[in-house]
Homo-oligomer: A and B are copies of this chain.
């Protein structure tokens, strides 16, 4: 399992002339780092008197980001397995799950700008950027597999959902970048 192998080994296999891991697995790792950064900001907020009024909400964010982090890490290896299985539905389901979870993850960033430890505000910005980019990457892999799906109604509904989510995610990333930028350049 790649999750238990080194960063260097993972990158070597990613670069190599091997069928997997590829962009789908790397996008899951990207998203896992985004979720981990959300957790870090929450961990540096909880217990600080200055942020005690947000304690319950930040603990809730941490619980969600930690759950997401494990799911993203699982997808790093699941994407490799799905590719090897040569089953079109597996190859579609894994990036579709990734895209949906990125959408859940990025929604944790805006409340954390207001309620998280301001010394780590740039990490909230990085998390939003990572989750948006992981979503965009997953979308490429979904689009490729949708071309091979016979069920045109299903393909259409997935495309519609993704298009809608893509717009929201882009907006959240942009707003997060602007807000974080103002605080750190301020």
Interface residues of A (CB under 8 A from B): 2-8, 10-12, 14-18, 22-23, 26-27, 29-30, 32-33, 35-37, 39-40, 43-44, 65-66, 69, 73, 76, 120, 122-123, 125-127, 129-130, 132-133, 136-137, 140-141, 143-144, 147, 177, 180-181, 184-186
Given A122-B140, A122-B144, are A7 and B3 neighbors across the interface (CB < 8 Å)? yes
In the complex, besides A12-B36, A26-B37, 5 extra interface pairs with C-beta distance below 8 angstroms are A7-B10, A14-B39, A15-B43, A15-B65, A23-B125
A30 to B185, CA, bound (A): 24
Across the interface, which residues of B come within 8 angstroms of A14, CB to CB? Answer: 33, 36-37, 39-40
* 4 tightest Cβ-Cβ pairs between the two chains A and B: A23-B126, A133-B133, A15-B39, A14-B36
Residues A129 and B136 in contact, CB atoms below 8 Å apart: yes
Query: Do B11 and A2 touch (CB < 8 A)?
Result: no
Q: A56 CB to closest chain B CB, in angstroms?
A: 18
| Min C-beta distance of A141 to chain B, whole Å | 6
A7 and B5 form a contact (CB under 8 A): yes
Q: What's the Cα separation between A129 and B137 when bound, in Å?
A: 7
Known: A2-B7, A6-B4, A44-B17. A141 touches B129 (CB 8 A): no
Once bound together, how far apart are the Cα atoms of A76 and B7, in whole Å?
10
The answer to whether residues A143 and B26 also contact, given A6-B3, A15-B69, A177-B136 and a CB cut-off of 8 A, is no
Instruction: List B contacts of A132 (CB < 8 A).
Output: 133
